[in-house]
Amino acid sequence: MERMPLESSCVRSAGYDAATCRLEIEYTGGSVYHYLAVPAEEYAGLLAADSHGTYLNREIKGRYAYRRISPCR
Q: pLDDT tens string for the chain (73 positions)?
A: 899 999 999 999 999 999 999 999 999 999 999 999 999 999 999 999 999 999 999 999 999 999 999 865 5
* Interatomic CA distance for residues 45 and 55, integer angstroms: 8
* Interatomic CA distance for residues 27 and 33, integer angstroms: 8
Instruction: Say what the pLDDT of residue 55 is.
Output: 97
pTM here is 0.92
**Which region holds residue 41: left if phi is over 0, alpha if psi is between -120 and 50, else beta?**
alpha
DSSP 29: T
Instruction: Say what the pLDDT of residue 1 is.
Output: 84
DSSP 10: S
Instruction: Say what the pLDDT of residue 24 is.
Output: 98
